[in-house]
Structure 1
């Protein structure tokens, strides 16, 4: 009866109409896949893809991407700029239509964009809807237009704010934390995508800067296009003679481009794209390419009598032909059909036949014209086939007949009682000693432990038949239950949905972890792609305070502990005698530490932090640079401040100049400090950046408590503090004095109870999920560090030696 009443209460008034971008905010997963890491980065891709579409149309040559310290992102291009005139039917500026209405844009008109990526007319409006704030700047028709939006709704009208000689669009957005929660963008994820786009669009220049990172700004520009891409993928390997095989052309209004090169390795590295979108799950275009490769090489080898084995004729399988293959396939087409909004797999059935026929024709011609290369490919594939046959018997040893046959499991595996893979965990532990502690400390119902003896085989240097003979690898494969090899591997049979690599935090532990990771990356990538592989995170520090000892998980936790200890019994006396302590003092110190981090970023750009601070203290904003008189007045104030407070850093040169293109002023300061000469440019773009706006905001909050000098009082002493930065240094120094900090390295340093509490207990532990954020970079690193070629490894070590910290001797 009650159920009937509920049904009857369902009426027209319960049908809700979501207007504008409200639907996007209510169900963001429908538009960007999810609200996790992938969805967050999808926002970046949508704006970048719009800029790349301008490049495909022939109007854009440069794209600049900046990730700011607050995780906001700026993307600027030199394309035509979004139209700003009034829309004929909507009666609002066209730019506002694009930013606020779904399915509005130039991609529905095939004359404007022949091909495009993005979300087909909903991309930038979705970004706007899911952003806490979005700032739009358009350069078009000699004028600069600006507009601000908050959570998809306009916060200001589209206004003309200046003149310019350039064209283009600049968008700065910060994702809405109430939707995404974690706003941490990945440097490698973004760099990978931008690098791909530069390879796929020869001649396009893309710059990338991450203000949070100490890495120098990167510029991606490749005149060789995907040929350069393949050469980059193979740079740490020995390749067949000559340049990569290059195929390009159009067939049935589809643009097809492919580069192929073989190396002497044993793994396949193929990347496929459609309209610049990385179809990392493949699809019909990749199936067509693979079919064409197998058929064409077999036809050539048969016609040249290269497949004779005694009296019998053999054939080359696709698996054999893909050993050592490196290839990039790119297609551009109208109306691509992807399997989801995130576009990981292409579904157009007709493109398979088109690609297959096109590649077959072009590759057949190449093989006929290059017989030496053709014979090299055939012989390599035949050798791979012989090795595959030799490995068949060895492979049988690793097959697991049934998930319930415990007797078939390796003896060293301490298995768990639970049989549901979704509920179970496998700890792969370095050494018998740590394995013994893990077995004692584990939760036996759901946690299994597999100790591995020593360092497993480096699979980067071994063919499959050699890999399958390795006792430690056979033990691991049998424990997992998946089988191994193209014919036998089945990830659905895996016995654990959490596989946790647990090694010491020293050089040997890192090496063992890398060897295990290399195995999964090369032979079981689906385990990584499904999110089953993890790293255990034993605590990095053991801290002793008085008689009390405890473990600290990471640098961030240690910083908080040091700060808390540094503020114990500390009071700050202002010049008027007022005391600062408690919550107010904690907030001041945290704000000051944040400001110092931002200033560190500017110093990495070779800008003088004291000069920047002086400008901030004297009230520099973007508006300050709008007139000559205002700029001159500001310069005089800064000079006076530097002369009074920092006489040792008086500027060598301080000039005001005008940017004729933008009709704005800027200040160029050349100063000398500690023997270094730095040039600090204060311009309109810098003062408008989120990072600079943040230090201006922090400065306002901090200076409300007054200007230094202060007196820092503790129970033991009284210290004069001349500046805010000195105050932070003294607090940190005071905190470290009270603590004995020891960097923790070995699992063997803990007994079973401690290992459980810090590293294995799901309630307390911290584990890191392994993900392939940058497949190109991952492939390069494994090839460089684990491969046969010595020179690329030496270059890598020399380049990165100074970045190493906590190296064990």
Structure 2
């Protein structure tokens, strides 16, 4: 029989006990995400003061004892007594759920904190929380333990601790604020310092400095003029310039070539998330230590950032989009902004505390910045009152709805010019075509927004969607049609890109239908220059992209046709970093490579459909060969990026010299891959008194080798050497490609000048 079930079986959790019992309801999780969410709640309260025009400086301090302090120069939490509870405003805000000044329009017209639970939840989930408020010429102080007010007896008041003896204030007894000092009557602000409770957060919870910096940076973009300072007291006041200098060197070195390595160095940081660093390295063993590894060691031993970081931006979302943009811009940054009103029925608090329904007119401010870049990645960040909504919501839905409608209409109106066949049902612009390369920041400011859950991931206020749609219809419509002054040329480039994405999507779909190697009919659809391998070996199949027809003949004799395919290219292919998508698709060499790989291109690329396990660039060991490799890598990075990300792209390493041994070693050969290696090898042979033919053969190209030499040095898996191309940091790789292959010449020239003194011959194939 089950135990009896009566009223005495019920448990009533009072005050903040419910938060400690079910923390996931309020902060999502009790791991690293929840730990950071607590900090966002406190920071957002200070930011709300800035949105109200009462604060222009916020300081976040990371103390060495694990506590975090957030200080602002806002109005300060009220210190007078709240009539209903008979408690001071400070205690009400920090101990009562759903208490605050953000349930109406009087104090905050647009705020991130809305439910009145943020500060009290953080208090409940902290082993200790101290608050200081500057108001009325005095500094007020109060302390809490796991959400309960009381007094700590710190042995050293300058170094408070959650482990100090604590005396809890008796239940139902008003807690007086302690006045601990005087300030100027004009000085106001709030300082909250808290220690996250290890009884609440699990062992995997880690504080992330990188997340903090990202959040602070984005807030500084969204609130122009607000200065936010982050102080990490783990870093001595003198800092650690050696790490900064190492990073500057590493950043400069990163501009030479894309990542060529077979190992990713990472180092866990004490108290922080891991920060990874790639390093350049061939598949064969190389001596020496890369700069990134040196940084990783410095990170593990000490410091990875400055003690003080400051952020302040005046350009708003325009600066934010510029910061987020990665790649060559197709358009300038376009701005959509304005205000409108809507009517909403809400529950208002009456004089006696009762709730009653009433209709109120709300203001809605919209600020959107956007641009297209020459790529296919999409970056859309959305915010409501500076609180990020990673799940989007009504404001993003309204923006994308209008964006799609206006672009489709403009394409239809200019179908002949854009070479779009309106009679072909397949040639219809889809949202994915529009989103490719789009970078946008969508923000709205409204009073009392409705979110889906306390974590505020999705905006649910339905009235916002038609406002954003109407505003985007009007302003973006003028831009994309070119009717707004100065936008005609830009809109033309944007439309060309979008139509190009449409054609690429259609072409990729057709390519997938014909390029899977299953029978002879499908093989016949491949480019005529392709010397394919035998079917059935997809898991080990290799595609060699060979420079020139002369090398092709030798490679045919040197390859193993069971699993090695050959595709020759004529000279230097199209520089796709500068070319449009339409130009790339019409280029025979680029189109052939995409067709032969067989997995599509751009957003439609499906690595599971790739016909080869390895794609190997086999070019001459000279400057022209290196240039061709960079052009090929640019094509892979821009349109077949998963190949690099999953480690399927390689560079063959053909030798530069052949040393023919003589005497007792006659018939033996030694290959070297650089002038320095040749000099060292000859010196070693002389030291060991091994004779050799003084007429050293230097290969000017792959075509100078016979089939056996090419097989032994470059193609036979048993004896060859390959370099795997990896891309651990897509953003860094994008910057490298943009610098080396883009239209902007001055930065490239400056890069050459800046790095001329650090030139390292071992990093090039001569």
TM superposition score category, shorter chain reference:
0.5 to 0.7
User: Equivalent residues in 2 for 1:599-618 (5 A)?
Assistant: none
1:231 aligns with one of 304, 314, 322? 322
Matched with 2:384 is: 274
Q: Is the 8 A contact 1:230 1:244 kept in 2?
A: no
Q: Distance in 1 between matches of 2:380 and 2:388?
A: 11
1:310-343 residue CA offsets vs partner (Å, 9 max, x unmatched): 8756653322222222111101223433333222
Q: Distance in 1 between matches of 2:409 and 2:594?
A: 40
Q: Is the 8 A contact 2:375 2:436 kept in 1?
A: yes
Q: Distance in 2 between matches of 1:385 and 1:202?
A: 38
Matched with 1:722 is: none
SS, match of residue 375 in structure 1:
helix
Matched with 2:375 is: 265
2:493 aligns with one of 372, 376, 388? 376
User: Is 1:390 matched with 2:507?
Assistant: yes
Q: Distance in 1 between matches of 2:379 and 2:178?
A: 50
After the TM superposition, which of the residue ranges 373-382 and 786-795 deviates more from structure 2? 786-795
| Cα displacement (A) at 1:471 | 9.0
Distance 1:378 1:217, change over 3 A: same
Matched with 2:100 is: 105
| Cα displacement (A) at 1:264 | 2.1
Q: Distance in 1 between matches of 2:321 and 2:224?
A: 13
User: Is 1:160 matched with 2:273?
Assistant: no
User: Is 1:330 matched with 2:443?
Assistant: yes
Matched with 2:335 is: 245
Q: Distance in 2 between matches of 1:41 and 1:323?
A: 31
| Cα displacement (A) at 1:32 | 0.2
Q: Is the 8 A contact 2:371 2:439 kept in 1?
A: yes
| Cα displacement (A) at 1:62 | 0.8
Q: Distance in 1 between matches of 2:594 and 2:107?
A: 60
Q: Is the 8 A contact 2:30 2:205 kept in 1?
A: no
SS, match of residue 257 in structure 1:
strand
1:200-255 residue CA offsets vs partner (Å, 9 max, x unmatched): 11111111122345424221111110011112222x53224655334333343221
Q: Distance in 2 between matches of 1:799 and 1:96?
A: 58
Q: Distance in 2 between matches of 1:268 and 1:95?
A: 44
| Cα displacement (A) at 1:35 | 0.2
Q: Distance in 2 between matches of 1:214 and 1:310?
A: 52
SS, match of residue 440 in structure 2:
strand
SS, match of residue 483 in structure 2:
helix
Matched with 1:293 is: 403
User: Equivalent residues in 2 for 1:790-809 (5 A)?
Assistant: none
Distance 1:411 1:273, change over 3 A: same
Q: CA RMSD in A?
A: 4.5
| Cα displacement (A) at 1:20 | 1.2
Matched with 2:721 is: none
Q: Is the 8 A contact 2:141 2:180 kept in 1?
A: yes
Distance 1:97 1:291, change over 3 A: same
Matched with 2:656 is: none
| Cα displacement (A) at 1:161 | 0.7
Normalised by the size of structure 1, how large is the TM-score? 0.52
| Cα displacement (A) at 1:138 | 0.4
| Cα displacement (A) at 1:123 | 0.2
Matched with 1:178 is: 199
Normalised by the size of structure 2, how large is the TM-score? 0.55
Matched with 1:52 is: 47
| Cα displacement (A) at 1:779 | 7.2
Distance 1:334 1:345, change over 3 A: same
Q: Is the 8 A contact 1:316 1:382 kept in 2?
A: yes
Q: How many pairs are equivalent?
A: 477
Q: Is the 8 A contact 1:231 1:244 kept in 2?
A: no
Matched with 2:22 is: 27
Q: Is the 8 A contact 1:83 1:95 kept in 2?
A: yes
| Cα displacement (A) at 1:489 | 7.4
Q: Is the 8 A contact 1:460 1:782 kept in 2?
A: no
Q: Distance in 1 between matches of 2:307 and 2:103?
A: 39
Distance 1:209 1:409, change over 3 A: farther
| Cα displacement (A) at 1:377 | 1.5
User: Is 1:87 matched with 2:82?
Assistant: yes
Q: Is the 8 A contact 1:230 1:259 kept in 2?
A: yes
Q: Is the 8 A contact 1:461 1:786 kept in 2?
A: no
Q: Distance in 2 between matches of 1:120 and 1:40?
A: 19
Matched with 1:134 is: 129
| Cα displacement (A) at 1:347 | 3.1
Q: Is the 8 A contact 1:323 1:384 kept in 2?
A: yes
Structure with the bigger percentage of helix:
1
Distance 1:385 1:123, change over 3 A: same
Distance 1:387 1:487, change over 3 A: closer
SS, match of residue 34 in structure 2:
helix
Distance 1:288 1:311, change over 3 A: closer
Q: Distance in 2 between matches of 1:265 and 1:55?
A: 36
Q: Is the 8 A contact 1:785 1:793 kept in 2?
A: no
1:114-141 residue CA offsets vs partner (Å, 9 max, x unmatched): 2221352000000000011111010111
1:506-553 residue CA offsets vs partner (Å, 9 max, x unmatched): xxxxxxxxx99x9899978xxx9xxx99xxxxxxxxxxxxxxxxxxxx
| Cα displacement (A) at 1:301 | 4.0
Q: Distance in 2 between matches of 1:394 and 1:332?
A: 46
1:24-70 residue CA offsets vs partner (Å, 9 max, x unmatched): 11110010000011100000000011011111111111111122233
| Cα displacement (A) at 1:467 | 10
Distance 1:362 1:19, change over 3 A: same
Structure 2: 5+ residue stretches without partners: 152-175, 235-303, 343-362, 519-534, 542-574, 610-632, 648-727, 757-761
SS, match of residue 223 in structure 1:
coil
